[in-house]
Structure 1
Amino acid sequence: MKEIAALRKIKLALAGLVYFDDILKDEIGANFCLLLDQLTAKEIKCEDIYIQYQKFYKSLLGLTWSEYLVNLLFKSQNAFTVQAAAQGLEGVDSLMQEHVASDLKIFQDLAKITAQDILALVAKRFVKEMTEIDKEIFSAELSPENWPVWQVTPIKAKTANTGNKKEFMSATEWLETVRREFYERFVAAENWTENVSLLADYYHWVGFGIFARYAAFNVQEHGQWLEGIAKNDPIRIDNLICQEREQAIVLRNTEAFLQGYPANNIILYGNRGTGKSSLVKALLNEYISRGLRLVQLPKNRINLFPGLIAKLAKIPLKFIIFIDDLSFNEEENDYKNLKSLLEGGVESRPANVLVYATSNRKHLIRESFAGRRTDDVHAQDTMEEKLSLADRFGITVTFLSPDQETFLKIVEGLAVQNGITLEKEELRKRALQWVLMHNGRSGRTARQFINHLLAEHHMSS
């Protein structure tokens, strides 16, 4: 049959993929390839084809076939994507571009295969090759004409407005919106081989692999690599009210970093709830479009830092490694690891990596030398070594707890941002009552109070 020959030709073409052979390893793609194998075999097993068709269908749920294929291109990590991310199309030689165009031709041929094409071939082969038992099994509801059909038209996902309100996107929303925009441009091309430049633009702007899919990451427990965070904290710079002095210092350093100028590691010091962590997380939403990514490194995994930055150094994006709530007991030795990694300048920290840490302890180390002999010659040296850890951060930013009037300004600002219309005096009165019953004055307490008012409003409406 012509249909069998056409599918075998496509299956053979997959072996010729030079860069984008991810489809052979991905679950959905592997399911499809196995289905092709079974459909084009000299002798078919009807039950196996039915099972494999259903397996492929279920693995594709929520996507069209073309969406899956193009998304696979967007998230791929290979020599072309890395080169294009670093230098754009100009940095990709002509031979590599030719190979990419050839790969895209194969992907377009795959995208043209519909469920109807597959089911038509299934029906033909079943009619000719079914056993008597197969005829009994695949009648009525299990007949190929009743098998489910995957989507052709993409589901319209809710994406953030890309017009005047683009500044209100979280980093995750921005990545999804840009991906959707590039997808629509990609499939609009009559010939996908013409999309080499478009793909290079995508990688150069957004990144590749997991870095095109996620904005924030956790370090895996054993340090093999990173795991993406599905939705990053949507906190914005303008949500952090009465923090202008602290923000100016951090933003200026981050701007220098993103522009390729020398920049410093930062320690953000202050009481709980003063917005230290929120400011670091807000940087991601502010600068996602300029290639910034955030990597959260727990204090108990600091020993993984050298291996981590060695890998990040090869990725043409900018990374802030975020260590939250940094402090050490006197008996802990992790401070030595941290101090060591912050020393040595360029040799220990690549130019595309900074460390931003928060702490509510002035010297990071909880000092406890009671009981040591006064003639212990090492005691003073040990103390000085520990207290010098903070010096390894080039910039220290101190966050102060707000006084009453500043706290009320934060509350009022957040109330406006969240559409709360209480009279000013009533708002201030209730905010002060909230402070007395809860955690004292802080930006976090103000946010919790506003959340309470929002819940109260929605429950009463």
Structure 2
Amino acid sequence: MNLEFEQISKTRIMINSLCIFTNIKENNVIRKYKALLKYIEKDKISAEKAINLYNDFIYSLLDVTSNTCFKKFIIDILFLDSNPFTRIIDNNNLNNISILNQVKYELEALEYIANIKSSNIKEVIISKSKAKTFQIDIIQSLIDLKLEDDEAESEKAINKLKNRIVSNNNWAQYLDEIISFYNQYGTGEFGEYRAFVWEHENDRKYLRGIKTPDPVRLQDLVGYEDQKETIISNTKQFLKGYLANNILLYGSRGTGKSSTVKAIINEFYNEGLRLIEVDKSKLVDFTRIIRILKDKKLKFIIFVDDLVFEEGEASYSALKTILEGGVENRSNNILIYATTNRKHLVKETFSERSGDEIHANDAIEEKLSLADRFGMTVSFYSPDQKEYLTIVDNIAKARGLEVDKEYLHKEALKWVRWYNARSPRTAVQFINWFIGEMN
């Protein structure tokens, strides 16, 4: 029993000893864990209060994870953390031996913290509270921590590395692998996620990682080969470190503009490309976003979907400043890809055309020139009937659909007349319906 007492005391002190990973101490699960350990360190404790603190800890863990593998949880928050260690990697300063040595110690400390057995905690509660028989039964029935992660194996590089660490002892030996991973995939949340949304929540403005981004790949997008090649070529140039252009993707709804941008990210994720989706109303935050991204070793596409401005919107001036490249808005690891279905990005009024001001034409030209400030405009026009049917055929083939082509075309054209105009999206919607009707 003395061994369990010592382990609990040592675990709490090790939590307090974290310096590089000090943010982990403020995690709600860790605070609940620490409160439990602090209480059961006392000479005399109440079984009822100890049970309550134990359940608070387990509930907080279940609230953020799919199981009670505490080791996996520790590794997850470790990889999401931004700290002096991740900063020296972002700044290519791996000569800071004191930080690297401290990280090795803290990896060992986190391993010790994560390896405590719930059975040991329960034994201490039973012993120190002098639990009665019915209390012992209750304590023994409390949910246990798992020592192994039973989730299915993932193909993601970060999950493979996490699983190796969780499944083995001596976490410090993985320091070089962690550094290598960070160098290729990015530190903190940028190594965990490939796509983000810029969020406003109460008084907080932050990047929210998207756990399950659209998995669309370029090979899934049928048609518009020239347009895709233009965007791919520009993106490759960007990834190689050369100057590249901001791109405006213009065209009708459903032609695959947004899907193309998302597919580009999925295609080049392993080469260090990430997506930041920003609503056009939040473009005024661009300087703040740049400050977060500019020192990262990754490349970022700022994605603005369905871009169009009302008269006098602050975001219009913000985008104009961004595209013109003010001193603080210049960063060689950021490009803007935006989509629109309007030829002109600012809605015009009849009063502007009627000459209410002396320089009305100049004002109109200024608005129309915003699109010109993008380095490239790539047009996605609605397909003609032949192109539309080709898209339908290719989607049907990809889905393994075997059906008379003449009948398929007849139904596809009927679908267009009944519902939407010709577009790749319409073709997908038709095939979805058609397969359902056949089964």
Equivalent residue for 1:446? 427
Equivalent residue for 1:57? 58
Equivalent residue for 2:19? 18
By how many angstroms is 1:81 displaced? Answer: 1.8
Paired AA for residue 99 in structure 1:
Q
> How high is the TM-score relative to the length of structure 1?
0.88
Contact 1:22 1:72 in 2 (8 A): no
Contact 1:269 1:360 in 2 (8 A): yes
CA distance in 2 between partners of 1:216 and 1:344 (Å) = 24
Which secondary structure state, in structure 2, belongs to the residue aligned with residue 138 of structure 1? helix
Q: 1:71 to 1:221 in 2, by over 3 A?
A: closer
Could you list the per-position Cα deviations for residues 2-49 of structure 1 after superposition, in whole angstroms to 9, with x for gaps in the alignment? 422332122112222121123311122111111110111233122111
By how many angstroms is 1:181 displaced? Answer: 0.8
By how many angstroms is 1:342 displaced? Answer: 1.0
By how many angstroms is 1:371 displaced? Answer: 6.5
Which secondary structure state, in structure 1, belongs to the residue aligned with residue 166 of structure 2? helix
CA distance in 2 between partners of 1:148 and 1:373 (Å) = 74
CA distance in 2 between partners of 1:154 and 1:375 (Å) = 70
Question: 1:69 and 2:69 equivalent?
Answer: no
CA distance in 1 between partners of 2:109 and 2:262 (Å) = 41
Equivalent pairs, count: 432
The one of 196, 214, 219 aligned to 1:217: 196
Which secondary structure state, in structure 2, belongs to the residue aligned with residue 319 of structure 1? strand
Which secondary structure state, in structure 2, belongs to the residue aligned with residue 218 of structure 1? strand
Identity %: 37
Contact 1:246 1:397 in 2 (8 A): yes
Question: 1:157 and 2:155 equivalent?
Answer: no
CA distance in 2 between partners of 1:10 and 1:260 (Å) = 46
Which secondary structure state, in structure 2, belongs to the residue aligned with residue 220 of structure 1? strand
The one of 221, 230, 253 aligned to 2:234: 253
Q: 1:402 to 1:47 in 2, by over 3 A?
A: same
Paired AA for residue 281 in structure 1:
K
Could you list the per-position Cα deviations for residues 350-373 of structure 1 after superposition, in whole angstroms to 9, with x for gaps in the alignment? 111111111112221233343766
The one of 119, 124, 140 aligned to 2:127: 124
- 1:78-157 alignment, distance < 5 Å: 78-85=83-90, 87=92, 91-127=94-130, 130=131, 135=132, 138=135, 141-142=137-138, 144-157=139-152
CA distance in 2 between partners of 1:398 and 1:2 (Å) = 70
Could you list the per-position Cα deviations for residues 272-292 of structure 1 after superposition, in whole angstroms to 9, with x for gaps in the alignment? 111111111111111111222
Which secondary structure state, in structure 1, belongs to the residue aligned with residue 110 of structure 2? helix
Could you list the per-position Cα deviations for residues 186-216 of structure 1 after superposition, in whole angstroms to 9, with x for gaps in the alignment? 2354422212112112222222332233222
CA distance in 1 between partners of 2:183 and 2:327 (Å) = 24
Which secondary structure state, in structure 1, belongs to the residue aligned with residue 205 of structure 2? coil
Equivalent residue for 1:202? 181
Contact 2:303 2:336 in 1 (8 A): yes
Could you list the per-position Cα deviations for residues 376-420 of structure 1 after superposition, in whole angstroms to 9, with x for gaps in the alignment? 333122112111111210011111111111111111111122222
Equivalent residue for 1:172? none
> RMSD between aligned alpha carbons?
2.1
> How high is the TM-score relative to the length of structure 2?
0.92
Q: 1:366 to 1:117 in 2, by over 3 A?
A: same
Equivalent residue for 1:48? 49
Could you list the per-position Cα deviations for residues 312-332 of structure 1 after superposition, in whole angstroms to 9, with x for gaps in the alignment? 213332211111111223454
Question: 1:301 and 2:302 equivalent?
Answer: no
Contact 2:47 2:126 in 1 (8 A): no
Contact 2:149 2:166 in 1 (8 A): no
The one of 243, 248, 259 aligned to 2:224: 243
By how many angstroms is 1:299 displaced? Answer: 1.6
Equivalent residue for 1:413? 394
Paired AA for residue 397 in structure 2:
V
CA distance in 2 between partners of 1:344 and 1:120 (Å) = 64
Moved more, 186-195 or 98-107: 186-195
The one of 319, 328, 351 aligned to 2:300: 319
Q: 1:273 to 1:377 in 2, by over 3 A?
A: same
CA distance in 1 between partners of 2:426 and 2:148 (Å) = 47
Contact 2:20 2:83 in 1 (8 A): yes
CA distance in 2 between partners of 1:415 and 1:349 (Å) = 45
Moved more, 282-291 or 61-70: 61-70
Contact 1:186 1:198 in 2 (8 A): no
The one of 354, 357, 370 aligned to 2:338: 357
Paired AA for residue 394 in structure 2:
G
Contact 1:342 1:349 in 2 (8 A): no
Structure 1 unmatched ranges of 5 or more: 163-176
Which secondary structure state, in structure 1, belongs to the residue aligned with residue 78 of structure 2? helix
Paired AA for residue 202 in structure 1:
F
Could you list the per-position Cα deviations for residues 143-197 of structure 1 after superposition, in whole angstroms to 9, with x for gaps in the alignment? x2222212223113263xx4xxxxxxxxxxxxxx222210232235442221211
CA distance in 2 between partners of 1:249 and 1:345 (Å) = 26
Equivalent residue for 1:400? 381
- 1:322-333 alignment, distance < 5 Å: 322-333=303-314
Equivalent residue for 2:34? 33
CA distance in 2 between partners of 1:2 and 1:241 (Å) = 65
Could you list the per-position Cα deviations for residues 44-63 of structure 1 after superposition, in whole angstroms to 9, with x for gaps in the alignment? 12211101111222233314
CA distance in 1 between partners of 2:326 and 2:219 (Å) = 33
Equivalent residue for 1:193? 172
Question: 1:310 and 2:291 equivalent?
Answer: yes
Moved more, 215-224 or 17-26: 215-224
Contact 2:287 2:328 in 1 (8 A): no
Contact 2:43 2:128 in 1 (8 A): no
Q: 1:374 to 1:122 in 2, by over 3 A?
A: closer
CA distance in 2 between partners of 1:315 and 1:337 (Å) = 23
Contact 1:85 1:200 in 2 (8 A): no
Could you list the per-position Cα deviations for residues 291-350 of structure 1 after superposition, in whole angstroms to 9, with x for gaps in the alignment? 221111112222222222222213332211111111223454532221112113664231
CA distance in 2 between partners of 1:115 and 1:136 (Å) = 19
Contact 1:309 1:350 in 2 (8 A): yes
